[in-house]
Copies of this chain bind each other. A is one copy, B any other.
Amino acid sequence: MNQIKNIVFIGAGNVATQFALAFKRAGLQILQVYSRTVNSARVLAEKVQAEHTTNLKSLNKDADLYLISVSDNAVEELTSQLSLKDKLTVHTSGSIPLEILNKVSVNHGVFYPLQTFSKSREVDFSNIPICVEANSAENLEKLKSVAKTLSNNIYEVDSEQRKVLHLAAVFACNFPNFMYTIADKILRDSDIHFDILRPLIKETAEKIQDVKPAEAQTGPAIRNDEKILSGHMEMLNDFPQLKELYKLISAEIQKINPK
């Protein structure tokens, strides 16, 4: 089995950027970065000493791996324009099935990192779960092997499970982040700085590194403290959607622990 030593990146967003930086640090070569936007392509290419292009027809044909990391909406259009024959090609999406790459190459897979990325915040990949899937045992081994250069947490996950994971990740990451945003808004309306909440947010996430989240639940809803619950909802009278949200979530929390 030939090891993957160099990669062409198709896409230059948050996920592509963090993968490219991490592969570079792990000693692999990034041959080329493609993006529709010349500036995005150039910025990432410069970071990892690669060439860049905005033309799919000029893709370097000699890479061991083609990593497609564009928005879910763009994957379908992009794959219809790509023909990489037998070149190992992966996408990084949580929600798109493996089969979308059938027409792109006979060798294909998925390389899905279960993490939230920004372009600017460099992340330590060593603990990031990387979910791999491939259309053959050999391709799977290749992907697992290259994944291990980045992380100690490699999972074999099929397309159905990956969809479930993506949904769970929305609840575990995107929705909590929005709850932080609501808290920030509530504080700003009373001229209190968000800083005061940061240690609480950190501890809330650290606490469930050891225990199950249902066991870590605290607050007025789990205590069935109706007085506080109704007081809080009254405070949200000017924000009907937030009030509805408060009511709905609290009612669900109360179901964990029926009186």
Min CB distance, A217 to chain B, in Å? 5
Question: Do B196 and A208 touch (CB < 8 A)?
Answer: no
Is A56 located at the chain interface by the 8 A CB criterion?
no
User: A115-B199, A205-B202, A209-B202 known; A72 and B227 CB under 8 Å?
Assistant: yes
Query: For the complex, what is the distance from the CA of A177 to the CA of B217, rounded to whole Å?
Result: 6
User: A174-B221, A198-B209, A223-B71 known; A214 and B167 CB under 8 Å?
Assistant: no
Is A38 located at the chain interface by the 8 A CB criterion?
no
Min CB distance, A18 to chain B, in Å? 11
Q: Given the complex, which residues of B lie within 8 Å of A256, measured CB to CB?
A: 181
Query: For the complex, what is the distance from the CA of A186 to the CA of B167, rounded to whole Å?
Result: 8
Min CB distance, A141 to chain B, in Å? 21
Min CB distance, A1 to chain B, in Å? 26
Docked complex: A68-97 residues within 8 A CB-CB of B: 71-73, 95
Query: For the complex, what is the distance from the CA of A164 to the CA of B248, rounded to whole Å?
Result: 20
Query: For the complex, what is the distance from the CA of A45 to the CA of B190, rounded to whole Å?
Result: 39
The interface on chain A, measured as residues whose beta carbon lies within 8 A of the other chain's beta carbons, has a size of: 91
User: A182-B171, A187-B168, A219-B170 known; A207 and B121 CB under 8 Å?
Assistant: yes
Is A54 located at the chain interface by the 8 A CB criterion?
no
Question: Do B173 and A186 touch (CB < 8 A)?
Answer: no
Min CB distance, A19 to chain B, in Å? 15
Given A116-B204, A173-B201, A176-B180, 14 additional A-B pairs, CB 8 A = A117-B218, A160-B190, A164-B192, A166-B232, A170-B219, A171-B179, A172-B179, A174-B221, A175-B179, A176-B176, A178-B253, A180-B216, A202-B205, A248-B248
Q: Could you list 15 A-B pairs, sorted by A, with CB under 8 Å?
A: A71-B225, A72-B220, A95-B231, A118-B207, A118-B216, A164-B186, A164-B192, A168-B184, A170-B221, A172-B204, A175-B179, A181-B214, A194-B213, A198-B209, A245-B249
